[in-house]
Amino acid sequence: MEIIDLEEKYNNLYFMCLEDWSDEIKEAGNHKESWYNKMKNEGLGVKLALNKKEEVVGMIQYIPIEHSFADGEDLYYINCVWVHGYDEGVGNFQKKGIGKKLIKAAEEDVQKRGAKGMVAWGVSLPFWMQASWFKKQGYEEVDEQNISVLLWKPFSEDAIAPKWIKQKKTPKKIPGKVSVTAFLNGWCPSQNLVFERAKRAASEFGDEVVFTEIDTFNREAFSEWGITDALFIDGNEINTGPPPSYEDIKSKIAEQVKKLK
């Protein structure tokens, strides 16, 4: 197993989070590529894990915390660690220690860059990006928000612990209309997929539905809302993990449209 920095020949695979075999991920559009082009000169780090066939089987991406969804100083923030876990494509490479190698390589990289610590987010439930996995890698819990847990590993004694940036407000209902509000940062194809499905579904209902996009890569927009990636229908947040189907989103919008009659 070899850990390398992202090379241009792997860019398209990286933009699809290693799931180039998936027709579903192709629905996510080019938002990840746009995010990458904005972040590649802003301190973004990407490491890939290659097997003996030089196939990409894992990845980690991390950014200066100033560009993340947490508040901190002189720290780096892990957006995600992902090891391919499907039978499709290159196959299942999870539970082989690849994630540990990726996070170690990222930590070594940011220490060379002068970071005082590494920050990660995880969930308290037993699925993707488990907070418990980061704890096994030496990370400590410092903040939580619903099921999202903020963790960190300080590298120096003068490092200051980060904290979540909290949600500040919720989209309002629009009298006589159904309001569909999609928050989009661009870094995560799964959330980009939700955005594209919601936008397409909202367009099916004509002027009865008002679709609003809020670009949270724009720091002012993110600071105003304290929301990164999310979908709201008439002010109610829709669970987007895992991404709901197009039909499910359309059905939820239709339920609200009926109430207008």
User: By 3-state DSSP, what share of the chain in percent is helix, strand and coil, each rounded to 5?
Assistant: 35, 30, 40
Q: pLDDT tens digits for 181-198?
A: 999 999 999 999 999 999
2-164 and 178-258 share one fold: no
What share of the chain in percent tops pLDDT 90?
A: 93
Question: Residue holding tokens 């499910």?
Answer: 248
Domain boundaries, the chain: 2-164, 178-258
Q: Which residues make Cβ contacts (< 8 Å) with residue 145, sequence separation at least 6?
A: 164, 166, 167
Quick check: 75 and 65 in contact, CB under 8 A?
yes
Segment 1-56, tens digit of pLDDT = 899 999 999 999 999 999 999 999 999 999 999 999 999 999 999 999 999 999 99
Strands 209-215 and 230-233: unpaired
| Dihedral Cα 244, 247, 250, 255, nearest 10 deg | -100
CATH superfamily of 2-164: Gcn5-related N-acetyltransferase (GNAT) (3.40.630.30)
Mean pLDDT score, 201-214? 97
Q: ∠ CA(100), CA(8), CA(45), 5° rounding?
A: 40
Calculate the average pLDDT of the chain: 95
Contact 208, 260 (CB under 8 A): yes
Query: What's the mean pLDDT in 233-259?
Result: 95
pLDDT over 70 at 79, yes or no: yes
Q: How far apart are CA 130 and CA 228, in angstroms?
A: 19
Considering only residues 112 and 125, tell me which one the structure prediction assigns the higher pLDDT. 112
Helix (H, G, I), strand (E, B) or coil at 153: strand
- CATH numeric code, 178-258: 3.40.30.10
For 128-156, what is the mean pLDDT?
A: 93
pLDDT at 63 over 90: yes
Q: Give the other-Cβ count within 10 Å of 132's Cβ.
A: 13
Tell me what pLDDT residue 126 has: 67
